[in-house]
Amino acid sequence: MSLQNTSFLDACRGHRPERTPVWLMRQAGRYLPEYRAIRAKVSFLELCRTPELAAEVTVQPIDRLGVDAAILFSDILVVFDAMDVAVEFKPGPVLPQPVRTRADIEGLRWGDPVAEVSYVMDAVRACKRALADRVPLIGFCGAPFTTCSYLIEGGGSRDFLEVKKLIFSAPELFRQLMANMSALLADYLIGQIDAGVDAVQIFDSWAGALGPRDYVEHVLPHTRALVERVQAHVPAGRERVPVILFARGNANLLAHTATIPADVLGVDWSIGMSEAIDIVGPERVVQGNLDPGVLLGPKALIHARAQEIVAAGARAKAHVFNLGHGISRVTDPEHAKAMVDAVHEAPTAKPRRHARL
Ligand code: CP3
């Protein structure tokens, strides 16, 4: 099997393809009428747990938008199935029994996510069949901090007071929890890789909840361990898969995040792409970073803003275009398509070729 479109993987590996590759975080979801049609029949969790349906939804934005990569349809919180931690989607995640006390944490069960979240591994195989090598498939998980934040807060949070209470009153207990989570997530991503994904992305959506000092002390070592464990895994008969690290709220954290040797550094929309490249250096591959809100404006604006970011990205080793966070559910799919077209039409830096004469 060989992929028909390698631009995304080429960029992840530090090469500059002819056209800047593009995909969108949350590209399969409620802004698409064809997604809503399926969701009218099944719940979100049923969709995640039914490999053929998850594959159908994964492919929807490939057909409609012409993006250069697919992302597995799932959620960062389904991994809790390996820990017997219940989660409901209303549609935001809610945990009826958050994990807060020492007894809660010490009572957690750390199962094998490959065996116990096997529907995700089956969904990967179903997606690969459905994609038929048109574009690569990205697997994903939440970063240890974002995943533990949901576990502790019991859902989304504005101020992360339960997490901070734990970090500052029982740092050793928090460290143990994060270390265990990092190991579980590594097994989970390695399972997705062995099932066939071509790249993985780690979402640290809540990294910005901490200031740089505490991010470096309490979060970074566990994210680094996760990235390095996954990078140490070479799937049988294939190349090692690239690891993308996306930490949101990262204008202040990027210099620290960049000390982790992820193959690609995600950049959120809180910083200019050019400034982000100054911070991470010209030898790193970057991904991002159009404000998803721009897609609510007119197509001419979307076109101009997308091409500005492509131009800025030319100074990086390579650039994967993306939004600076997930697409909003009120986005007109035609506007998302206008963004993808603008990226593909943008003049890019000449690919670096080795002279053969
Ligand atoms: O990118 C994709 O298209 C793949 C699918 C995907 C989903 N969630 C589907 C989903 C991915 C990669 C995620 C990751 C995820 N989930 C993150 C990290 C990315 C980010 O946005 O920061 C986080 C923090 C979650 C947790 C989560 N799950 C939230 C906050 C919500 C509610 C979001 C909302 O739009 O209301 C979910 C539910 C969820 N995950 C939906 C989808 C399509 C909506 C569920 C529905 O159909 O009702």
pLDDT, average across residues 278-287? 98
| Stronger pLDDT, 52 or 353, i.e. the higher one | 52
pLDDT, average across residues 135-159? 97
Residue 356 has pLDDT above 70, yes or no: no
Note the pLDDT of residue 338: 98
39 is catalytic: yes
Q: How far apart are CA 335 and CA 344, in angstroms?
A: 14
Ligand 1 residue neighbourhood (C-beta within 6 Å): 25-30, 39, 44, 71, 73-77, 89, 91-93, 140, 156, 203, 205, 326, 329
pLDDT, average across residues 296-317? 98
Which mutation among 31, 89, 131 tests ligand 1's pocket best, with the greatest number of atoms within 8 A of CB?
89
Q: Where are the beta strands (DSSP E) in 63-107?
A: 70-71, 88-89, 93-94
Q: Determine contact, residues 210/174, Cβ cutoff 8 Å.
A: no
pLDDT, average across residues 272-297? 98
26 is catalytic: yes
**Index of the ligand 1 atom closest to the CA of residue 140:** 12
Q: How far apart are CA 92 and CA 45, in angstroms?
A: 12
Residue 357 has pLDDT above 60, yes or no: no
Q: Determine contact, residues 37/169, Cβ cutoff 8 Å.
A: no
Which mutation among 76, 137, 205, 323 tests ligand 1's pocket best, with the greatest number of atoms within 8 A of CB?
76
Residue 173 has pLDDT above 70, yes or no: yes
Q: CA 159: distance to chain centroid?
A: 23
Share of the chain above pLDDT 90, in %: 95
Chain segment 88-142, per-residue pLDDT in tens: 999 899 999 999 999 999 999 999 999 999 999 999 999 999 999 999 999 999 9
Residue 177 has pLDDT above 70, yes or no: yes
10 is catalytic: no
Note the pLDDT of residue 348: 73
Residue 351 has pLDDT above 80, yes or no: no
**Which residue has its alpha carbon closest to ligand 1 atom 1?**
26
Which domains can be identified in the chain, with CATH numbers? Answer: 7-345 (3.20.20.210)
Note the pLDDT of residue 355: 44
pLDDT, average across residues 157-165? 97
Residue 36 has pLDDT above 60, yes or no: yes
pLDDT level of residue 250 (50, 70, 90 thresholds)? confident
Note the pLDDT of residue 124: 98
Q: How far apart are CA 266 and CA 272, in angstroms?
A: 13
Considering the entire predicted model, what is its pTM? Answer: 0.96
Ligand 1 centroid–CA 28 distance in Å is: 9
Q: How far apart are CA 244 and CA 261, in angstroms?
A: 10
> Which structure tokens are listed for 111?
């199962």
- Which of these is catalytic: 150, 187, 204, 284? 150
**Which residue has its alpha carbon closest to ligand 1 atom 40?**
75
Note the pLDDT of residue 349: 61
Averaged pLDDT score across all residues of the chain: 96
Ligand 1 centroid–CA 73 distance in Å is: 9
Residue 354 has pLDDT above 60, yes or no: no
Q: 342, 330, 339, 340: which is closest to 32 by C-alpha?
A: 330
